[in-house]
Amino acid sequence: MQREIILHRRLRWLTWLFITGLVVSGATAIPLVTELNWLSALTGSSYDSSCHDVPAVLVWIEKVRTALLETQGKYPFLFYGTDWLAFGHFVIAIAFLGALRDPVRNRWLFDFGLIACALVVPYAVVFGGLRGIPVWWRLVDCSFGIFGAVPLWFCRRWAMELDRQK
Mean pLDDT by 10 residues, the chain (166 residues): 94 98 97 94 72 82 94 97 98 98 97 98 97 96 96 98 92
Instruction: Quote the pLDDT of residue 24.
Output: 97
Give CA–CA dist 38/55, Å, rounded.
Answer: 18
SS3 105: coil
Q: What does the DSSP 8-state code read for residue 76?
A: G
Give CA–CA dist 158/4, Å, rounded.
Answer: 9
Write the CB contacts of 141 (distance below 8 Å, at least 6 apart in sequence). 120, 124, 128, 133
Give CA torsion, residues 158, 107, 22, 91, to 10 deg.
-160
pTM listed for this prediction = 0.90
